[in-house]
């Protein structure tokens, strides 16, 4: 069969061992959702566990903290246990709490300890802006000049980062390193193990922003000896818009007083003693700050059940196949139409989404949405497609490329302005 044929796509769907999970999700009829790397779709199980938590509130009131289907007092810890296998960590090293930026502030305020020559923070120029804003804020709090103390490793081509360049920047004046696991634009996976080893060989602590990798690729944070990591749970983990975030802290750091202490970081048995002496939990739980956002966390209970059943290794294998199929279709079907695949071709270097670069990217995205395709745009010229292993079919991938081909041939995009919407 021809690669680009519909029958071939249907054959791939027939032998897909994860295809039955698609029925778990709410997929709007007449649309193809390709934006799961920005916001995952709602699953029926996530809806169910959210409604169960609302019912607990209705039935038990304040006693919902210790009674009901999903008692609130231990919810974050229970979710941490379910998340731990996805990041390659023990249950005690993972906590569901805060949000990406809040957790980054928490971790940097804890682990950034400028002393002597070591006063600078190392990041990269391609990272998501919120990470830079947070790091700049932390440097300001210490009274340091942002231009000299926030070092951003340069990209050689504007798409990718080279590990050699990051290692070269690990100088004696670096106190802390914050890098992404997967670059949000290009989808490049960094060599987390290598970077961690090189940082530690130089006596530098290192943490990772895993927003674009958790739920899409397997991790081994404990085995790799990563110091800490943080992420959101609303992308590949389908936890819901603005859903509660997650963090990992290596057990070797247990007992360290968090930089931003709050009462929910207390030992459980001490929390309601109401003492003015903070007694932190001897686990990642100590990095919680305030009361958990129960109704924000509840959908994740159901969502993580699906990940436990599907298995992150199986999810990764299908994700790689979906993305490879998309790449091959683009190369075969969209020749000479001005597209450039700005994502690594090697499986080990590619995350869960594909970036197509085009000078008319914003207009093309608007035209795709008009045709029932939900993509993602990143300025100035990137269309991101994220075929998600749990709910995207090979037939849908085939259809996306056929529709994109028609849009380009008919120049349907020309009726739109080439500028992003408020929410890209």
Check the annotation: does 66 bind a ligand: no
Check the annotation: does 124 bind a ligand: no
Q: Helix, strand, coil proportions of the chain in percent (round to 5)? A: 45, 15, 40
Check the annotation: does 293 bind a ligand: no
Other C-beta atoms closer than 10 Å to the C-beta of 210 total 27
Check the annotation: does 127 bind a ligand: no
Residue matched to tokens 């919407």: 421
Query: How far apart are alpha carbons 48 and 406 in whole angstroms?
Result: 40
Of the candidates 96, 90, 84, 95, the one whose C-alpha atom is nearest the C-alpha of residue 308 is 84
Check the annotation: does 234 bind a ligand: yes
Crossing angle of the two packed helices 312-333 and 6-14, in degrees rounded to 10:
170
Query: How far apart are alpha carbons 14 and 23 in whole angstroms?
Result: 15
- Beta bridge partners, 19, equal none
- The token pair at 54 is 């609302």
Check the annotation: does 65 bind a ligand: no
Question: Is residue 248 within a helix (H) or strand (E), and if so which, with residue range?
Answer: strand 246-249
Check the annotation: does 212 bind a ligand: yes
Of the candidates 181, 188, 184, the one whose C-alpha atom is nearest the C-alpha of residue 161 is 188
Check the annotation: does 291 bind a ligand: yes
Check the annotation: does 56 bind a ligand: no
Query: How far apart are alpha carbons 255 and 283 in whole angstroms?
Result: 7
**Known binding-site positions:** 100-101, 128-131, 209, 212, 234, 263, 291
**Known binding-site positions for pyridoxal 5'-phosphate:** 100-101, 128-131, 209, 212, 234, 263, 291
């Amino acid at each position: 069969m021809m690669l680009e044929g519909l029958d071939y796509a249907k054959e791939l769907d027939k032998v897909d061992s994860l295809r039955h999970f698609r029925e778990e999700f709410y997929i709007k009829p007449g649309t193809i959702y390709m934006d799961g790397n920005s916001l995952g779709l709602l699953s029926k199980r996530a809806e169910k566990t959210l409604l169960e938590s609302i019912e607990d509130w209705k039935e038990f009131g304040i006693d919902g903290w210790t009674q009901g289907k999903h008692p609130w007092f231990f919810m974050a810890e229970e979710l941490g246990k379910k998340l731990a296998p996805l990041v390659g960590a023990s249950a005690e090293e993972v906590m569901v709490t805060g949000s990406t930026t809040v957790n980054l502030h928490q971790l940097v305020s804890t682990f950034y300890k400028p002393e002597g020559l070591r006063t600078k923070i190392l990041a990269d120029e391609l990272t998501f802006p919120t990470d830079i804003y947070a790091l700049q804020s932390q440097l300001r709090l210490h009274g340091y000049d942002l231009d000299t103390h926030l070092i951003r490793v340069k990209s050689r081509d504007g798409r990718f980062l080279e590990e050699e360049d990051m290692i070269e920047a690990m100088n004696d004046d670096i106190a802390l390193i914050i890098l992404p696991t997967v670059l949000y634009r290009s989808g490049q996976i960094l060599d987390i193990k290598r970077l961690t080893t090189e940082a530690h060989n130089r006596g530098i602590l290192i943490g990772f922003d895993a927003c674009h990798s958790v739920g899409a690729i397997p991790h081994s944070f404990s085995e790799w000896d990563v110091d800490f990591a943080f992420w959101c749970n609303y992308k590949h983990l389908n936890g819901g818009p603005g859903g509660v975030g997650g963090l990992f802290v290596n057990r070797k750091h247990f007992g360290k007083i968090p930089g931003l202490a709050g009462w929910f970081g207390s030992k459980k048995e001490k929390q309601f003693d109401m003492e003015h002496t903070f007694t932190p939990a001897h686990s990642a739980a100590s990095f919680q700050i305030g009361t958990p956002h129960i109704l924000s966390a509840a959908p994740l209970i159901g969502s993580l059940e699906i990940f436990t059943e599907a298995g992150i290794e199986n999810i990764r294998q299908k994700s790689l196949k979906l993305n490879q199929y998309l790449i091959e279709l683009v190369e075969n079907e969209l020749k000479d139409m001005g597209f450039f695949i700005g994502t690594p071709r090697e499986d080990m270097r590619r995350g869960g989404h594909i970036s197509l670069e085009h000078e008319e990217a914003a207009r093309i995205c608007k035209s795709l949405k008009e045709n029932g395709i939900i993509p993602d745009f990143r300025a100035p010229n990137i269309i991101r497609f994220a075929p998600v292993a749990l709910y995207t079919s090979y037939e849908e991938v085939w259809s996306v490329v056929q529709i994109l081909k028609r849009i380009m041939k008919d120049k349907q995009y020309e009726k739109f302005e080439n500028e992003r919407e408020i929410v890209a």
